[in-house]
C-alpha cells in the first residue's frame, strides 16, 4: 500500500514520516542511495507500507523551498519571535530577520511574546508592522493568551521559529505541543549554540496539523548576499509607493523625487522602518564591495 507523508526526522538511515496522525519508521530504496539523492526533513514523500508502522520511501516529491540553515525543505513560514521586554525588542534585529526570511522565499509573521509583562512599550511598533502588512500575533507562553491565534497561523504550514535568545521560543513550543519538554531559560542559554549545531533538525507535529522546526531558524549574524536594489523589495510598505519614484530601481536613498521618502515625511511609512532600511542598505553596499 502506498501512502504520502512528510519527513519529520532523519537519523541513522531511518526516516520518520508523519502521515495523518501517525509516524512511520521508514528506510530508503537502494536506488536513492546510489543516486546520492538526499532526503531532507520537510520533504514530501511517497512510501510503501511494509509492516505496521514501518515502510520504504519510494518517491521524493519536488521541493517548493530549501532552507540551508537549518536544512529543512518546504518551509513556508518563518515566525519571528520577540519579547515585549526582557529582553528589550530591537526593531533593527527584527527587520534583519524579516529580510532573511523574505530573501529565502519564506513568508514571515511576527510574534510578540511575554504580553503578560504589559504591551504599552511596544504598541506603536506592533501597529507599524501591522500597517506594513505583516501578520502580528501577541502571546504569552506564561498565561496562554494569544496561543489560539498562533495555532491558526501555524496550521497546515511548515514553520521555522527565529528570534533572539530568551524571548520564549522554546516556552511557546512547549505550550503548543502537549508532552513536549524543551529546555527553557538559563539551562538552554548555558548550553547555547553548541546544542543546536550538534543536534539533528526535527519537525514537531502540532495537534492542529502544522509542523514546526525545533531549531532556531536564521541567525542574526549574517545578511544573505543580495544586490542593493533587492533590499527595498523586502519592505512590503515600500512597494505601494515605489512606482511614484522618479527613477526605476530607486534605492530611496539619495535620489531626488523619491515617493518612499515622501511617504516617510508624511508619516505614512514608519520612520524607524526607513532608518533600519538605510542601515541595512549600507551593509548590503559594504558586502557588494567585498565580493
Ligand X SMILES: Nc1nc2c(ncn2[C@@H]2O[C@H](COP(=O)(O)OP(=O)(O)OP(=O)(O)O)[C@@H](O)[C@H]2O)c(=O)[nH]1
Interaction site with Zn ion (CB under 5 A): 245, 250, 252, 258, 260
Residues 234 and 132 sit within 8 Å (Cβ to Cβ): no
When CB distances are held under 5 to 8 angstroms depending on the partner's kind, the choice from Mg ion, ligand X, Zn ion, none that residue 96 binds is: none
The residue among 83 and 260 lying less far from Zn ion, judged by its C-beta, is: 260
Supply the minimum distance, in Å, between the C-beta of residue 281 and Zn ion.
Answer: 12
Crossing angle of helices 271-290 and 91-103, in 10° steps, is 60
β-strands 107-113, 136-138 pairing: parallel
CB count in 10 Å sphere of residue 85: 14
Site membership for ligand X, residue 280 (CB under 6 A): no
Which of the ranges 50-58, 115-123, 180-188, 198-206 carries the binding residues for Mg ion, by CB under 5 A?
A: 180-188
Count of residues engaged in binding ligand X, rule: CB under 6 A: 19
Q: How many CA atoms lie within 13 A of 122 on its CB side?
A: 28
Site membership for ligand X, residue 188 (CB under 6 A): yes
The residue among 37 and 189 lying less far from ligand X, judged by its C-beta, is: 189
Q: From residue 118 to residue 157, what is the string marking binding to Mg ion with x (rule CB under 5 A)?
A: ----------------------------------------
The residue among 166 and 209 lying less far from Mg ion, judged by its C-beta, is: 166
b/e per residue 223-238 (b: at least 16 CB within 10 A): beebebeebbebbebb
Residues 97 and 80 sit within 8 Å (Cβ to Cβ): yes
The residue among 99 and 170 lying less far from Mg ion, judged by its C-beta, is: 170
Supply the minimum distance, in Å, between the C-beta of residue 238 and Zn ion.
Answer: 8
Q: What does DSSP assign to residue 22?
A: E
The residue among 56 and 117 lying less far from ligand X, judged by its C-beta, is: 117
Site membership for ligand X, residue 93 (CB under 6 A): no
Cβ neighbours of residue 33 under 8 Å, at least 6 residues apart? none
β-strands 158-162, 77-83 pairing: parallel
Residues in contact with ligand X by CB under 6 A are 113-114, 116-117, 140-142, 165-171, 184-185, 188-189, 216
Amino acid at each position: 500500500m502506498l501512502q504520502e507523508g512528510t519527513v519529520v526526522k532523519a537519523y541513522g538511515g531511518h526516516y520518520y514520516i508523519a502521515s495523518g496522525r501517525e509516524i512511520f519508521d521508514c528506510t530508503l530504496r537502494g536506488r536513492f542511495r546510489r543516486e546520492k539523492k538526499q532526503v531532507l526533513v520537510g520533504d514530501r514523500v511517497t512510501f510503501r507500507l511494509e509492516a505496521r508502522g514501518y515502510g520504504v520511501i519510494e518517491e521524493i516529491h519536488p521541493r517548493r523551498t530549501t532552507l540551508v540553515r537549518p536544512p529543512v525543505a518546504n518551509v513556508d513560514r518563518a515566525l519571528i519571535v520577540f519579547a515585549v521586554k526582557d529582553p528589550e525588542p530591537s526593531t533593527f534585529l527584527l527587520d534583519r530577520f524579516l529580510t532573511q526570511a523574505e530573501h529565502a522565499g519564506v513568508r514571515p509573521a511576527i510574534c510578540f511574546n511575554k504580553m503578560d509583562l504589559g504591551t504599552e512599550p511596544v504598541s506603536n511598533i506592533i501597529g507599524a508592522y501591522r500597517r506594513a502588512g505583516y501578520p502580528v500575533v501577541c502571546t504569552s507562553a506564561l498565561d496562554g493568551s494569544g496561543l489560539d491565534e498562533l495555532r491558526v497561523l501555524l496550521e497546515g504550514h511548515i514553520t521555522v521559529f527565529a528570534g533572539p535568545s530568551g524571548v520564549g521560543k522554546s516556552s511557546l513550543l512547549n505550550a503548543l505541543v502537549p508532552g513536549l519538554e524543551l529546555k527553557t531559560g538559563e539551562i538552554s542559554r548555558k548550553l547555547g549554540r553548541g546544542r543546536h549545531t550538534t543536534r539533528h533538525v526535527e519537525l514537531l507535529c502540532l495537534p492542529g496539523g502544522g509542523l514546526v522546526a525545533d531549531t532556531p531558524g536564521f541567525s542574526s549574524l549574517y545578511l544573505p548576499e543580495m544586490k542593493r536594489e533587492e533590499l527595498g523589495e523586502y519592505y512590503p510598505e515600500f512597494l505601494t509607493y515605489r512606482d511614484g519614484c522618479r527613477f526605476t530601481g530607486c534605492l530611496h536613498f539619495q535620489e531626488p523625487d523619491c515617493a518612499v521618502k515622501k511617504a516617510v515625511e508624511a508619516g505614512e511609512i514608519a520612520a524607524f522602518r526607513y532608518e533600519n532600511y538605510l542601515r541595512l542598505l549600507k551593509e548590503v553596499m559594504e558586502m557588494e564591495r567585498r565580493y
